[in-house]
Amino acid sequence: MLGEVVEFIVVLKDAFKTIGGTLISIMFLYGALFYVYSADDPGGRKTAKSICIHAIIGGIIIAMAETTIETVGGSMGL
């Protein structure tokens, strides 16, 4: 029973990692393009910079969550 739960969590983690990584890449690219196309608009540049920063923060959160899951699973001997 516990093994099935752990397998489910690992599959879920891998799915979130794949989907999250794709979304992070898309959002960072969107922010970069938004920054380039709003060269004369300071408000647009600020928004674009915020999009890029939030994408990076999201990547850090996903990496930390993956590390935490692997650490907890390793300490449980799974």
pLDDT in the model for residue 74: 73
Q: What is the pTM of this model?
A: 0.80
| 51 vs 72: CA distance, rounded Å | 32
Quick count: other Cβ atoms within 10 Å of Cβ 10?
A: 14
**Do 65 and 10 meet the contact criterion of CB atoms below 8 Å apart?**
no
pLDDT of residue 35: 94
Q: Give the tens place of pLDDT for each residue, 6-48.
A: 778 778 888 988 999 999 999 999 999 999 999 889 999 999 9
Helix (H, G, I), strand (E, B), or coil: what is residue 32?
helix
Number of other CB atoms surrounding residue 11 within 10 Å: 10
pLDDT-derived band at 75 (thresholds 50, 70, 90) equals confident
Q: Given a cut of 80, is residue 1 above it in pLDDT?
A: no
